[in-house]
């Protein structure tokens, strides 16, 4: 990564990316340069369904970081990464096992101004996780596959837009929340800080 100054995209193991993901990412980078140079992060995904995808396919909006909305397909710049590293102690000791809620806490608290996000309204990332920690019903991976196939069929006419359009600019503000806990063990704190030192 030495000398690389672009964005790094965070995807989880249960994320499925749409066929125009990289095309849309490059379009967001260009849009940011011309229309939102103060946007700190990109969110290529959201947790909405693709039912209205064709209408929203080329739409983006700007807003403040919100854990429950922008934690899927997020892209972070080296500059923002260094801001987070400046908050290493706060990040590693904040008592919430969810990294995204910790980031929301840091946005506007340790980081001087709230993180501003450029968001794709037509999600390029689908969350397929029916199994795991938060699973409430019987785990059936084939259902997730069927939902992805149905979503792709619904989205096909809106893929690869020629350009992007700003569809809204919401306030960028710090939004506090209640800690979820689960990150109080000092051994976790030490391990986290040691990882940060190596990067």
78-114 pLDDT, tens digit each: 888 888 889 999 999 999 999 889 998 998 889 888 9
How high is the pLDDT of residue 176? 78
Total residues found in the chain within this entry: 199
Instruction: Of 74, 17, 23, give the one whose Cα is nearest residue 44.
Output: 74
Number of H helices, E strands in the chain: 8, 8
How high is the pLDDT of residue 112? 84
Half-sphere exposure at residue 13, Cβ-oriented, CA atoms within 13 angstroms: 3
- Count CB atoms within 10 A of the CB of residue 39: 23
**How large a percentage of the chain has pLDDT more than 70?**
93
How high is the pLDDT of residue 147? 83
How high is the pLDDT of residue 158? 93
3-state helix, strand, coil split of the chain in percent (to 5) is 40, 20, 45
How high is the pLDDT of residue 133? 54
Six-digit token string for 144: 């997730």
Half-sphere exposure at residue 99, Cβ-oriented, CA atoms within 13 angstroms: 11
How high is the pLDDT of residue 6? 86
Mean pLDDT, the chain cut into blocks of 10 residues (199 residues total): 85 91 97 95 90 93 91 90 90 92 89 92 86 62 80 90 94 84 94 79
Six-digit token string for 135: 């699973």
| Edge-to-edge strand list for the sheet holding 116-120 | 7-10, 74-77, 41-43, 116-120, 59-64, 165-169
Those residues whose C-beta lies under 8 Å from the C-beta of residue 170, and which sit 6 or more positions away, are: 61, 62, 63, 64
Instruction: Of 105, 110, 126, 108, give the one whose Cα is nearest residue 21.
Output: 126
């Amino acid at each position: 990564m030495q000398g690389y100054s672009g964005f790094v995209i965070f995807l989880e193991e249960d994320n499925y990316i749409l066929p125009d993901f990289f095309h849309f990412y490059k379009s967001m980078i260009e849009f940011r340069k011309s229309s939102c140079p103060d946007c700190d992060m990109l969110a290529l995904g959201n947790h909405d369904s693709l039912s209205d995808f064709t209408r929203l396919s080329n739409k983006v909006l700007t807003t403040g970081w919100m854990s429950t909305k922008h934690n899927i397909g997020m892209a972070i710049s080296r500059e923002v990464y260094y801001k987070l590293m400046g908050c290493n102690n706060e990040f590693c000791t904040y008592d919430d096992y969810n990294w995204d809620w910790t980031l929301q806490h840091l946005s506007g608290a340790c980081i001087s101004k709230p993180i501003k996000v450029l968001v794709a309204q037509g999600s390029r990332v689908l969350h397929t996780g029916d199994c795991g920690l938060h699973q409430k019903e019987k785990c059936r991976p084939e259902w997730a596959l069927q939902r992805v196939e149905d979503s792709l069929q619904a989205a096909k006419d809106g893929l690869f837009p020629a350009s992007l359009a700003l569809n809204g600019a919401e306030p960028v503000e710090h939004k506090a929340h209640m800690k979820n806990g689960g990150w109080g063990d000092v051994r976790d704190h030490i391990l986290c800080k040691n990882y940060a030192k190596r990067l």
